[in-house]
Structure 1
Amino acid sequence: MTRFRLGPEPIDVDVERRALDHAAAGAYVGFEGWVRNHNDGKPVLRLDYQAYAPLAATEGEAILAEAIERFRVRELRCVHRVGSLAIGDLAVWVGVSADHRDAAFAACRWVIDEVKRRVPIWKNEHYADGASGWLHPDGSAVDDE
């Protein structure tokens, strides 16, 4: 079963959320990460996400499998966009269903943090002054040298 997905298509949160339905679940927690219009004091016009897709999919699936074991949740999903995104676009979504809210909240936070830390996805921010800069989603700059 695929729980992590990477692609250029807009994320349909309603469809994704329905994949988490489980009769034993008493809680659902979701996270939506949107493209914002600034970073480090610079106005951002848009951004481009790129990923090494085979490794991103493998690592994303590993993170979600770890989360199921670690937090004993019922189900979870993560979708991350690639390609050119505009301000306000939904870039990443995480959803978790669990028997209780504590596990759902903890798992959701852990998943997004691990995806940002471990999955090979980079963004190129395009600034209002015409410059651009590559960043890893954890916020660190990517050295071009």
Structure 2
Amino acid sequence: MPYKKLSEQVHELSNVQRSDAFVKRFRDAVREGKIDAMNLPERFTMPKQYSRRGAEGTYQRETKDMLFDDTAAFKKWFEGVNEELGVTRRAAAPKVSLEAVESGDVDFKALVEETRRKMEASYKKGQDLGKSRAKGRKPTKTK
């Protein structure tokens, strides 16, 4: 039976920046019984480059290595996971700014409608709150 280390398999990913997600899915599959694997005492450095907010440079993390049975079922599982992780995530929506509106990156009319809807909801909420407080008050007697 061919055995392989997790540290070797991670380098076969099409996008090594997703190696942390792959290791998490791998461990989940081992826990669920989809893959036969065992822990090894050594650790390995993940190929993913992390960066700290507000600081320069990058760093890498280490994780426990595992030995697994490299079967046809594992290869099929790996192909599916590798394909999923290889797909780039969609870009975030552009931030609303004068430049974004002028360039057409954001829809001005849609944002106007959203603003009106939010303002109306806020106004109505305030009116309802005022009405509910007025109902709870007892009229005071004046002499």
With structure 1 as the length reference, what TM-score do the two structures score?
0.29
Of the two structures, which has the highest relative contact order with CA contacts closer than 8 Å and spacing of 6 or more?
1
With structure 2 as the length reference, what TM-score do the two structures score?
0.30
Q: Which has the larger radius of gyration?
A: 2
- Structure with greater helix share of residues: 2
